[in-house]
Structure 1
Amino acid sequence: MTTRNLDALFHPSAIALVGAGNRPGSIGTVVARNLFEAGFDGPILSVNPKERAVRSSLNYAAVADLPIPVDLAVLTGAPQDLPATIHALGEKGCRAAIVLSGGFGLEDGPEAAVLRQKMLDAARPHLLRIIGPNCLGFISTSAHINASYAHLMPRKGDVAFLSQSAALASAVLDWADGRGVGFSYVASLGDKADVDFGDMLDHLALDAGTRAIVLYLEHITDARKFMSAGRIAARAKPVIVIKAGRSAAGASAALSHTGALAGTDMVYDAAFRRAGMLRVYELRELFEAVTTLSSGIRLAGGRLSVLTNSGGAAVLATDALDEQPGELAQLTAETLGALDRQMPQRWSRSNPVRIPPDAPSKRYGDALTALLEDPGSDATLVLNSPNAMVDGAETAEAVIEVLSHRPRAPVLTCWLGDRGAADARRRFAAHRIPTYDTPDEAVRAFGHLVSYQRNQTLLMETPPARTFDEPDRDKARQLVDAVIASGRSVLTEVEAKAVLAAYDIPVVETKTAATPAEAALLAADFAAPVALKILSPDIIHKSDVGGVRLDLRTPGQVEEAAEAMLAMVQARLPDARIEGFTVQRMVRRQRAVELVAGIANDETFGPVVLFGEGGTAVDVIADRAVALPPLNGRLARDMIARTRISRRLAGYRDNPPADLDAIATTLVKVAELLGDLPQIGEMDINPLLADADGVIALDARIVAHPARETGTKRFAIKPYPTALVRPLELGDGQMLLLRPIRPEDEPALGDMVRRSDPRDVRMRFLGSLKDFPHLMAARLSQIDYDREMAFVALTPDGEMLGVVRIIADPDNEEAEYAIMVRSDMKGRGLGFRLMTEILDYGRSRGLKRIFGDVLRENLPMLHLAQDLGFTVRPGSDDPTLARVDLDLAEAEAVRRRKAGRA
């Protein structure tokens, strides 16, 4: 349901507390105290059949007795009473309820699930939103609402904190209060029966009073909803997450290396990264990251220069950098020359830049200026160790003076010590310059900035549905379906390689033999050394049972090895079905690296792609990276870079670099295969040999089952809808390209707005725009295709002439539209064509209604809407607006009747 009626939570006009009490220590009493003392400026009405008054306020015996409607209710009663209470609240017009009561979880038995559903059923007819149950409550510092049983009211701030755990939310409030950290909102979501992280992220993404969002979560229930909302929120402001439960338990049941290696926590990590969020692992680190990212500093890369008066501090910072994403910058000759002219002779002449302890404060300013000019440095860490020769506060002022002319320059500071550093830290804080107590904290903050920048880059990636020549999908599908139809779930090696070959993934030629003698004949046909493997649907890892022999040179050696292999396997696994052997040519690539690539299925996020170091020790080495499909080349290369084996792939000594493009393309093809063949649950390509000449799969294993969902519906991220790209011809014969918008369209979108008449811009955005801000352009061009659609009309050289979009509600019932045509294109039919296209798309999605708000003075748009069948009526509150509305089913019926008469 997403943000529907969440305004009743964040901005209620009146609040009811059902279960309020006066008994000391009871939850109803604690919540009543918090609510009444927080300073809310609207009515707070208490409900309790046993009380006459609560905190000197008149009490009501039942919800039905409430004299006025309430937007928000807080419930503390017994679980069995809540469905009836929710129904009564809905009848009184209530639109949101915070359920603090427990007793609805899995641990509460089967009756709890029934009770939970009754509560949701009672809320549904009224579209009443439920926060909880089993939660701490909700706090808004700006609206002075403390609808919780928290032990304190937090300070006012601009950080929103969402927690799945009530106990941890309470602990964070206590921890933050002692450190002067404030919040805009604190929400404990508990069991998330209705409102979940996705809903709250959707709302907070647009909240002007929230500068950063912090999440504490244990699990996600709706992955696509979370990813959609998270990606939208992370485009607007920093989203920082700490997740509990990092165990990979459960992966042991997988039938492949990939399934075992792709632990649940790894998949969450990949999801946070792809959503543009920053993941941290400790509470202290959580708020450090908030401070760092909220400073507005953004990096272009991961190269750090260090300026210090202490060699020891420089060593500590350099050591800490080894554990973070990033590296020491290599200063240019020009920078070293500038520093040489400014520094005394005893400076380090390298990075870290170490100046003598007795150097005056001006040296810091001069050196920092030079470092900020260096093109090879992306950020500078300024370290200062106290001494009696130079005042640390004066040195801080020299740094502040430099940065006063360079707002948001990528500079972090660390003044070591306590009492002597306090004044400098206060000065930095007053100028919003990030400052830290220790070198490792400062370097960790730099790591946060690097990780955040990389994740934001990944967030902007919108992979197309297919990035290579069309595969032989029919052949691959027939192979997989035939195996499933035969009652098997595991493809043979030959079948698995045939599926890979259908997607143009290079595989070594492999043939099957039923007997040792037949294997010898096949070896003779190869006329080269061969590899022999056992063929059995019951053996997962062939080498573990002696089922692999390599470099066999003669048919006789092959037959002898096959006989011995058969005996060994039957002795070790007497119940295994043996179907014969596979024979394949030995691949001689001396400098090749063994890799593993494959597919696993995560219970929460669906299919994932895995990459890492392969070979027989793959489970022990556990060097791997996981990514959510769909992928493109850049996302695949990011996967490769996150593994240790990537250093070998980059080349070393006399070993040339491997063909990274070939590896990345293979990963993209694996991800594409996922969308075409939802029957595949697990897949291993191990080893996948890679060297300068490309890649080749030596072995493969695929596990398949009847598909429960088709295509990419299983994906947590909806791919770019390539199928919607097509030519568009206007009435005057001009040919345009119509396609869904992409992130790289941001410049073209801005150009279209700038080249339009200001009046037309005002009509589109319902108000004047002095400029077209980057954030607005980014938000309009970087959409989530699961929630939104925007079609752009482009000339052959890429000029944008028009754009039309709809944003659907989460129930996929109705959507709001918006359209803009460049001023010089008006009157040529482009607006009508764009509206027709988006309405057809809405019908294909199953939408029932399209609506929009139009300025009453925008007569061309109102006439166009009427021509398309929209009804026009007054807007809700603003007299300058008209609401246009189209029932898609009814409009389609009218169109068909007209077509029939024609």
Structure 2
Amino acid sequence: MTTRNLDALFHPRSIALVGASNRTGTVGALVARNLFEGGFEGPILTVNPKERAIRSSLNYAAVADLPIEVDLAVVAALPDAVPQVIAELGKKGCRAAVVLPAGFGPGERTFSPEVRQQMLDAARPALLRIIGPNGLGFISTRGHINASLAHLMPARGDVAFVSQSDSMTAAMLDWAHARGFGFSHAISLGDKADVDFGDMLDYLALDNTTRAILLYVESVTDARKFMSAGRIAARAKPVIVIKAGRSAAGAKAALSHTGVLAGSDLVFDAAFRRAGMLRVHELRELFEAVTTLSAGIRLAGDRLAVLSNGGGPGVAAVDALEGIAGRIGTLTPETVATLDKLLPTAPSFANPVDIRADANAARYTEALTALLADKGSDAVLVLNCPTAVSDSTQTAEALIALLETRQRAPVLTCWLGEAGAATARRRFASRRIPTYETPEEAVRAFGHLVSYQRNQTLLMETPPARTFDEPDRAKARALVEKVLKEGRSALSEFEAKAVLAAYDIPVVDTRVAASPEEAGRLAAEIGGPVVVKVLSHDLTHKSDVGGVRLDLRGSAAVEEACRAIIASVAEKRPQARVEGFTVQAMIRRPNAQELIAGIAYDTTFGPVVLFGQGGTAVEVIGDRAVALPPLNGVLAREMIERTRVSRLLAGYRDHPPADMEAIASTLVKIGELLADLPQIAELDINPLLADENGVIALDARIVVHEARVEGTERFAIKPYPAGQERILDLTDGSTVRLRPIRPEDEPGLVEVVHRSDPQDVRMRFLGSVKDFPHLMAARLSQIDYDREMAYVAVEESGDICGVVRIIADPDDEAAEYAIMVRSDMKGKGLGYRLMTEILTHARKRGLSKVFGDVLRENGPMLHLAEDLGFKVGPSSDDPTVMRVVLDLAAEARRAPLEVAPAPAGP
């Protein structure tokens, strides 16, 4: 991911329109009108070989004729001509281009794969960034830029909209315009040949003119980039997404239950959740969510109190809670006693709280004060119905006055009606107090808050690649490799259970018999009732062909059951080969729930872990949750809670609660199995029995293929690299702990800046920094551990005293470094140790070059760079800045040199 040269898109000094036209109805004329009428303050230059002027502005015949360099170009040319145009623009110093279709016909919009690649190749020498092709274009109300085919210029606002669809972009602009809703930027990505959602999210995360980000997503091209950028952006500001296409098409080809159940839309939902985003399903809901989340309300839980001057609206609000993320709160006795004093003649209060139709402003404020203090609720919805005996506007003003003393109080409002309520709703909106027209809308907004808060919690989880004792990895790998060598794509039940057992997942003891007679002998050895199943590599689901027989007692019953299985398979699947039978003890756990747990593969996000209610009707029940690996206990438990079967697992009547820790640890171990065995494409444990005594796998199926990449390289989220933690010895005899940075280090980074001398801070950031903002700290602490790596040095007290990072370029060849050591830690060799550690990481990553920019006056840093082998030279852009470069590729070609001892330094 990179934001390189995107400043030329958002803040160009000049713009060129290639393909401009005066002919009405053409793309060139429409874009020319939008550009010239958008109000851009810099020069707009047009290119058309057949025109003398465009809209009374001097026109140029070719890009080479342009008298000045242009930062941004808008290209409306036939696809075959675009690569040449991009190459010419790059020679003119252009750094960003919006590539629009030349016309509205099919042939004028079709970029073949060859032409698309030629366009990207032409852009590469100048690192020119491309939006499109075939999108609606780019609009920035802050920059007065309308480089688009849109029919209107949106109002100025502080919400950015990024869309994959040109038609949806146009519809959104029209919808928002009619409602007076403004945007900071509107970007139609089109075919996403270069700039994609990841790039936009990374840039907009730090854009101080954007308060929230809206996405319309149809597909994701680079899952790891999208997840990394999305998590960074979602930590900084609300990110709300609509995903088109909610079907599970494509899953039918899967061989396992998990493969069928893990539909693509379910996986997208899991990805958005893990990235800290909020998913909605309608345009109207999109804007509601922006309003709600932008109020800055933070919830501690999911319980709602409802305050109303009428019984009906309160009941409607409670009814609306059914099916959303949230539940009705319970009033504490203290709150009930306080409310009883408001209306002594009323029956004792419950939730929803009805304070009667004659409730005035004073009664509302007293009741709301009591509910805000109540420990049984996490938010309050205040409803008001118009009545002849009270003034709803006065009530609204009183509540506004109360809430101004309680900033970001978890309060939502709903003033029902139109004429009498409109003024109150406008007043609430002007003070950024969330307000809605109906109880259902208000409750849906509460659900948005609950979901968003949960997703933000998941966002902070950075599970390591290993959380349990080492498994018998060699045994599991040998089993998988044996199956692949034999040309099989599926492990037998016996083999699959052996793999699970290697990862300490409890399995029922299972034995293999080649004949009915051997099965009878094994049953006698096991003793008691047994289960017999067909053993066949040709059968995916044994129960579908009568291949499972339960509760068999004695050798004769087992032999008879085996012969019946052979006959049933011959009748229902005559082509299937029966290779034998598996025999296992009949497990009796009367309180156990049948679960399914396993692995599926998604074409976009790679492997996912699935959990839900199991059994033979698993696909009919459809109760499942999906999560992206790696998992930890928190993520696994959240995944369990998203299923309906979790209510049964919590216990009911005479059924005690199941061992939730055992279930969660099984899901985490499945994620670790994924990391170690990249050959595994699908895995079913069905049923996985769970009760108060733990879990046990009764049946298992594993589908494998040849591995193309290492295990965790398939993951959309790279695991936290816990194995890179170590102790560093400093020159004064003290030690610090070095570890990769984590999202929760954000306050520690801010503290490093606050505890450092302003001059040292200026050296680090190449300029004065009066304050270290939350957005920047969030961006620096939330990384993907892939293209970017950062280490922090931590004292015994837990305080961060230094940080170093590298960020690789899009080609994964060169990386820029940055380092900061807290002022009181200078002179102990910490800077040298941090630099050697990050350079060691760069070498292991196979990077060719590491570089950095250093102020010319920062002598200690320049000397340290020279000690480490960097070449020091002037920066091409700023005479006050020096560029230091370490050529790792050349270093690798030479014989390795001994590392010099750490000198005293920064």
- CA distance in 2 between counterparts of 1:730 and 1:104 reads 66
Instruction: Please state if 1:705 is matched with 2:705.
Output: yes
Instruction: Please state if 1:896 is matched with 2:903.
Output: no
Q: Note if contact 1:240-1:280 (Cα within 8 Å) is conserved in structure 2.
A: yes
Unaligned runs of 5+ in 2: 901-906
**Which amino acid counterpart does residue 424 of structure 2 have in structure 1?**
A
Give the match's secondary structure for 1:181. Answer: coil
After superposition, the Cα gap between the structure-2 partners of 1:104 and 1:738, relative to the gap in structure 1 and judged at 3 Å, is farther
Give the match's secondary structure for 1:305. Answer: strand
Which string of whole-angstrom CA distances, capped at 9 and with x for unpartnered residues, describes residues 125-152 of structure 1? Answer: 2222211111111111011111111110
Which string of whole-angstrom CA distances, capped at 9 and with x for unpartnered residues, describes residues 657-712 of structure 1? Answer: 10111000000000111110000000000000000110000000000010011121
TM-score normalised over the length of structure 1: 0.96
Shift of 1:575: 0.5
- CA distance in 1 between counterparts of 2:70 and 2:352 reads 62
Q: Which range moved further: 261-270 or 89-98? A: 89-98
- CA distance in 2 between counterparts of 1:461 and 1:369 reads 35
Q: Note if contact 2:231-2:782 (Cα within 8 Å) is conserved in structure 1.
A: no
Give the match's secondary structure for 2:791. Answer: strand
Instruction: Please state if 1:46 is matched with 2:46.
Output: yes
Give the match's secondary structure for 2:709. Answer: coil
Shift of 1:898: 6.5
Q: Note if contact 1:5-1:128 (Cα within 8 Å) is conserved in structure 2.
A: yes
Q: Which range moved further: 348-357 or 595-604? A: 348-357
How is 1:144-543 mapped onto 2 (pairs within 5 angstroms)? 144-346=144-346, 349-543=349-543
- CA distance in 2 between counterparts of 1:58 and 1:799 reads 61
**Which amino acid counterpart does residue 294 of structure 2 have in structure 1?**
S
Q: Note if contact 1:141-1:184 (Cα within 8 Å) is conserved in structure 2.
A: yes
Shift of 1:106: 12
* Counterpart position of 1:557: 557
Shift of 1:41: 0.9
Shift of 1:313: 0.5
**Which amino acid counterpart does residue 227 of structure 2 have in structure 1?**
M
After superposition, the Cα gap between the structure-2 partners of 1:770 and 1:72, relative to the gap in structure 1 and judged at 3 Å, is closer
Which string of whole-angstrom CA distances, capped at 9 and with x for unpartnered residues, describes residues 581-611 of structure 1? Answer: 0000111111000000000000010000000
* Counterpart position of 2:809: 809
After superposition, the Cα gap between the structure-2 partners of 1:133 and 1:236, relative to the gap in structure 1 and judged at 3 Å, is same
* Counterpart position of 1:639: 639
Identity of aligned residues (%): 71
**Which amino acid counterpart does residue 50 of structure 2 have in structure 1?**
K
Shift of 1:880: 5.2
Q: Note if contact 1:730-1:830 (Cα within 8 Å) is conserved in structure 2.
A: yes
Q: Note if contact 2:79-2:110 (Cα within 8 Å) is conserved in structure 1.
A: no
* Counterpart position of 1:618: 618
**Which amino acid counterpart does residue 480 of structure 2 have in structure 1?**
V
After superposition, the Cα gap between the structure-2 partners of 1:26 and 1:265, relative to the gap in structure 1 and judged at 3 Å, is same
**Which amino acid counterpart does residue 202 of structure 1 have in structure 2?**
D
- CA distance in 1 between counterparts of 2:495 and 2:455 reads 37
* Counterpart position of 2:786: 786
Q: Which range moved further: 439-448 or 867-876? A: 867-876
Shift of 1:767: 5.3
Unaligned runs of 5+ in 1: none
After superposition, the Cα gap between the structure-2 partners of 1:550 and 1:687, relative to the gap in structure 1 and judged at 3 Å, is same
- CA distance in 2 between counterparts of 1:771 and 1:47 reads 45
**Which amino acid counterpart does residue 59 of structure 1 have in structure 2?**
N
TM-score normalised over the length of structure 2: 0.96
- CA distance in 2 between counterparts of 1:622 and 1:490 reads 24
Q: Note if contact 2:340-2:348 (Cα within 8 Å) is conserved in structure 1.
A: no
**Which amino acid counterpart does residue 356 of structure 1 have in structure 2?**
R
Q: Note if contact 1:105-1:113 (Cα within 8 Å) is conserved in structure 2.
A: no
Shift of 1:308: 0.7
Q: Note if contact 2:77-2:102 (Cα within 8 Å) is conserved in structure 1.
A: no
Q: Note if contact 1:218-1:243 (Cα within 8 Å) is conserved in structure 2.
A: yes
Shift of 1:736: 3.4
Instruction: Please state if 1:730 is matched with 2:692.
Output: no
After superposition, the Cα gap between the structure-2 partners of 1:302 and 1:879, relative to the gap in structure 1 and judged at 3 Å, is farther
How is 1:565-580 mapped onto 2 (pairs within 5 angstroms)? 565-580=565-580
* Counterpart position of 2:59: 59
Q: Note if contact 1:531-1:586 (Cα within 8 Å) is conserved in structure 2.
A: yes
How is 1:728-807 mapped onto 2 (pairs within 5 angstroms)? 728-766=728-766, 774-796=774-796, 798-807=798-807
**Which amino acid counterpart does residue 570 of structure 2 have in structure 1?**
Q
Instruction: Please state if 1:605 is matched with 2:605.
Output: yes
Q: Note if contact 2:102-2:108 (Cα within 8 Å) is conserved in structure 1.
A: no
Q: Note if contact 2:854-2:882 (Cα within 8 Å) is conserved in structure 1.
A: yes
- CA distance in 1 between counterparts of 2:541 and 2:684 reads 11
Q: Note if contact 2:159-2:182 (Cα within 8 Å) is conserved in structure 1.
A: yes
Shift of 1:398: 1.0
How is 1:848-859 mapped onto 2 (pairs within 5 angstroms)? 848-859=848-859
- CA distance in 1 between counterparts of 2:43 and 2:832 reads 49
**Which amino acid counterpart does residue 308 of structure 2 have in structure 1?**
T
**Which amino acid counterpart does residue 23 of structure 2 have in structure 1?**
R
Q: Note if contact 1:234-1:275 (Cα within 8 Å) is conserved in structure 2.
A: yes
Q: Note if contact 1:212-1:238 (Cα within 8 Å) is conserved in structure 2.
A: yes
- CA distance in 1 between counterparts of 2:797 and 2:157 reads 47
Shift of 1:124: 2.0
Instruction: Please state if 1:885 is matched with 2:885.
Output: yes
Shift of 1:797: 5.1
- CA distance in 2 between counterparts of 1:87 and 1:760 reads 42
**Which amino acid counterpart does residue 825 of structure 1 have in structure 2?**
M
Q: Note if contact 1:102-1:134 (Cα within 8 Å) is conserved in structure 2.
A: no
After superposition, the Cα gap between the structure-2 partners of 1:518 and 1:102, relative to the gap in structure 1 and judged at 3 Å, is farther
- CA distance in 1 between counterparts of 2:177 and 2:36 reads 21
Which string of whole-angstrom CA distances, capped at 9 and with x for unpartnered residues, describes residues 493-544 of structure 1? Answer: 0000000000000000000001000000000110121100000001111111
- CA distance in 1 between counterparts of 2:195 and 2:15 reads 18
- CA distance in 2 between counterparts of 1:203 and 1:438 reads 36
* Counterpart position of 2:546: 546
- CA distance in 2 between counterparts of 1:492 and 1:14 reads 66
- CA distance in 1 between counterparts of 2:797 and 2:103 reads 62
How is 1:1-40 mapped onto 2 (pairs within 5 angstroms)? 2-40=2-40
Q: Note if contact 1:102-1:133 (Cα within 8 Å) is conserved in structure 2.
A: no
Which string of whole-angstrom CA distances, capped at 9 and with x for unpartnered residues, describes residues 91-110 of structure 1? Answer: 22222211111799999999
- CA distance in 2 between counterparts of 1:680 and 1:650 reads 32
* Counterpart position of 1:660: 660
**Which amino acid counterpart does residue 650 of structure 1 have in structure 2?**
A
CA RMSD of aligned residues (A): 2.2
* Counterpart position of 1:128: 128
Q: Note if contact 1:744-1:781 (Cα within 8 Å) is conserved in structure 2.
A: yes
- CA distance in 1 between counterparts of 2:658 and 2:548 reads 27
Shift of 1:266: 0.3
Q: Which range moved further: 794-803 or 120-129? A: 794-803
After superposition, the Cα gap between the structure-2 partners of 1:614 and 1:287, relative to the gap in structure 1 and judged at 3 Å, is same
**Which amino acid counterpart does residue 840 of structure 1 have in structure 2?**
T
Instruction: Please state if 1:677 is matched with 2:677.
Output: yes
Shift of 1:819: 2.3
**Which amino acid counterpart does residue 25 of structure 1 have in structure 2?**
G
Which string of whole-angstrom CA distances, capped at 9 and with x for unpartnered residues, describes residues 536-557 of structure 1? Answer: 0011111111000001011110
Instruction: Please state if 1:630 is matched with 2:593.
Output: no
Which string of whole-angstrom CA distances, capped at 9 and with x for unpartnered residues, describes residues 191-229 of structure 1? Answer: 111111111111111111011110111111111111111
**Which amino acid counterpart does residue 542 of structure 1 have in structure 2?**
K
* Counterpart position of 1:592: 592
Q: Note if contact 1:636-1:664 (Cα within 8 Å) is conserved in structure 2.
A: yes
Shift of 1:720: 0.6
* Counterpart position of 2:903: none
After superposition, the Cα gap between the structure-2 partners of 1:876 and 1:334, relative to the gap in structure 1 and judged at 3 Å, is farther
Shift of 1:796: 4.5
Shift of 1:762: 4.5
Shift of 1:781: 3.0
After superposition, the Cα gap between the structure-2 partners of 1:185 and 1:111, relative to the gap in structure 1 and judged at 3 Å, is closer
**Which amino acid counterpart does residue 549 of structure 1 have in structure 2?**
R
